[in-house]
Every structure is written in structure tokens, then in C-alpha cells.
Amino acid sequence: MSVSVPAERDEILRVEHLTMRFGGLVAVDGLSFSARRGDITAIIGPNGAGKTTVFNCITGFYKPTEGRIALAHGSGAVFEALPGVTFGGKQWAAASDGAVFLLERMPGFEIARTARVARTFQNIRLFAGMTVLENLLVAQHNVLNAASGYTFGGLIGLNSYKRAEKEAIERSAYWLAEIGLLDRADDPAGDLPYGAQRRLEIARAMCTAPVLLCLDEPAAGLNPRESGELNDLLLKIREQHTLSILLIEHDMGVVMGISDRITVLDYGRKIAEGTPAEIRSDPKVIAAYLGVEDDEVEEAEAEL
């Protein structure tokens, strides 16, 4: 399933003028950025910068106050259809060789099901009382539910459903092997150690066959060895599956090690965007992280 990455990667996600207000608090303020197809795009910033709010807007858990979030299936050329979809009042539309989705207009489950954006959570949200395998089967709900004839076929025991379930279990076993949890397939997910729960959440998101995977602090609480393994896992997933990754992370080892592009937020605004090398030397980023005044930035940079 390896992808031939085009020399000039086109956009998959385009966020424009995204603003999210909670009463008087402006959590995200006129943010515009884009993620390119096949890239790992990181969003970083100090605590409270609005990173998770951006994620919640993209994955439909919040309705943005203002702004447009557009996702492309197929090539980035489908963005040409964007004005038509926007002013036509539609949620999404098929275009040339793909489709374009306006995520801010879609309910959360449709974003996962139709637009195929999957996510993980900062505080792990597994189905703790279900087995590791069942967690991955639940993620394949929509495929399986259609195969079961929306329950009626499955109730009378159609063979097509049995086949679909067998395939789903095989796909789950593939992902369990990828994250090294094949032996623990029949254990309750709540019984796994913390690092394994993080990996299982990524595998569960992958079982929904996403085009865009949003990871909210996947390395939080992991030790250095585990976060190294996480890097390898994410790079492998990106290499072997047609997939783009959006990543929130505080662990700079992970961010700098695997990101292609980085967007830096502070107080809900974008303060920098670029490659890891550019970000590392950006005075505004350093100021945001170290908390110096703007006029002391030169001085602070000189000390570093």
C-alpha cells in the first residue's frame, strides 16, 4: 500500500480563519494553516495555546465560531470546488477525482465516517471494559454494520456478515501485530499498561481507515524508550498507508524527529510555521516557550 509521494505535495487539510470563542474567552483566534498530503504536520505551543481546541474543531467535537475547515479526498485539485460547496450550503461534494468536505458543517461521527478523519485523545479514551480486539472491531463499526445488513442480515446469520467479521478480525490482528499487542488481544483494554493503551488508541483510529489521523499528545506519559518506539510506529504507518498525520505534542524529541512541518500556536494565534529546523531557530517560538519579552528576544537568542 506504499504511496508514491509527489515531489510537490498538495494540500489535504486547509484551515482558514478559524476562531473559537467560549463566552468571552477566545481560545483560537483567526487561525489559518494547512496540512500537506502524506506529511506529518505538528501543532505545538505552550499549555493553553488552543491546540486541542483546534483538534476538537477539526474532528467535530466543537462547532467553530467562525472559519472554514476543508478536507480533500483525492488530489488537492478538488479544493477548486470549494467555493461552490461553501456557497451551495452543502456539507461536502464529490469533485473531479475525489471529494471535498467542509468539516465545520458536519456532525462528529460523519467526520469520522464519511470524511475519514480519525483521532486519539489527550486523556486516553479506550473502551476499557471491552477486550483489545473488541476495541478494534468497534472502530470498524460502519463497515461491519453495513455488512450485517444493518443488523437484520446478521440476526438471521447471513454468510456475508460472517465473512466481513472474519476480515475485520484479520485486520484487527494485523494492527495488533503492528503495535505489538497480539498476545493481549483477549485482555480488557483497561488492563493494559499506559504505553500500550496509547498504542492501542492509535491502532483503533487506524482501523477506521482514515485519510487524516489526528493524534493529541500521543507521547504524553511515555518513557524515552516508548516515545522512540512511537516515532518508529508513526513513520511506519505513514510509509505503509495512504495517510497524513496531524500531531499535537509537547515531547520535542517526537516533534522534531518525525514532523515534516510544524505550526506553532500561542494564545490561539499562529506565531510561526515551517520545517523543524526553521522552528527551532525562530525567535518568536523561543520567546513563547521561554516567556521572555519581545524586546529581549535577541538577547535570549544570543544566550542560547
Partner 1 sequence: MTDAAKPEAARGVHRMPAWLPADALRDAAITFLIALVLFGSLVGLRTDTVNNALEITTHFGKALLLSGVVAGVRLAYDLLVWRRLADGQTIASLIPALIPIARATAAFGLALGFVLYVFPALRSNLIAWAAGVFWWLGSIADLITFACMAAFVVVAAMVIIRVARIALRRQTAEGVGITARLTGDFGRELPIALLVIAITLPLLITGASQRYAIDTATQILIYVMLGWGLNVVVGLAGLLDLGYVAFYAVGAYTYALIATEFGWSFWVCLPLAGMLAALWGITLGFPVLRLRGDYLAIVTLAFGEIIRIVILNWQSLTGGPNGINRIPKLTFFGLSFDKAAHPSFHGVFGLEFNPVYRIVFLYYVILFLALVTNFVTLRLRRLPIGRAWEALREDEIACRSVGINTVTTKLTAFAIGAMFGGFAGAFFSARQGFISPESFTFMESALVLAIVVLGGLGSQLGVVIAAVVLVGGSERFRELQDYRMLLFGLSMVLVMIWRPRGLMSGRTPSAFLHEHRSISSSFVKEGRG
Positions that interact with partner 1 (CB under 8 A): 59-61, 108-110, 112-113, 118-119, 121, 125-131, 133-134, 137-139, 141-142, 144-145, 148, 151, 154-155, 161, 165, 169, 172-173, 176, 182, 185-191, 204-205, 207-208
Q: Residue 213 Cβ, how far from partner 1 at the closest point, in Å? A: 11
Q: Residue 163 Cβ, how far from partner 1 at the closest point, in Å? A: 14
> Between 180 and 224, whose beta carbon lies closer to partner 1?
180
> Between 53 and 231, whose beta carbon lies closer to partner 1?
53
> Between 139 and 234, whose beta carbon lies closer to partner 1?
139
Q: Residue 104 Cβ, how far from partner 1 at the closest point, in Å? A: 16
- 3-state SS, residue 162: helix
Residue 135 grid cell: 476495541
Q: Which of 65, 62, 119, 116 is nearest to 92 (CA)?
A: 116
255 CB-near residues (< 8 Å, 6+ apart): 42, 44, 247, 249, 262, 276
Cα gap 212→117, rounded to integer Å? 5
Residue with cell 443488523: 151
Report the 10 Å Cβ neighbour count for 129: 10
**Which residue type sits at 221?**
G
Q: Residue 294 Cβ, how far from partner 1 at the closest point, in Å? A: 39
> Between 59 and 259, whose beta carbon lies closer to partner 1?
59
In the chain, which ranges are E strands? 11-22, 25-36, 40-44, 66-73, 92-95, 98-102, 117-119, 212-216, 244-248, 261-266, 269-274
- 3-state SS, residue 173: helix
Q: Residue 276 Cβ, how far from partner 1 at the closest point, in Å? A: 28
Q: Residue 224 Cβ, how far from partner 1 at the closest point, in Å? A: 28
> Between 184 and 270, whose beta carbon lies closer to partner 1?
184
> Between 146 and 277, whose beta carbon lies closer to partner 1?
146
Q: Which of 127, 137, 208, 129 is nearest to 168 (CA)?
A: 137
> Between 77 and 138, whose beta carbon lies closer to partner 1?
138
Q: Residue 218 Cβ, how far from partner 1 at the closest point, in Å? A: 14
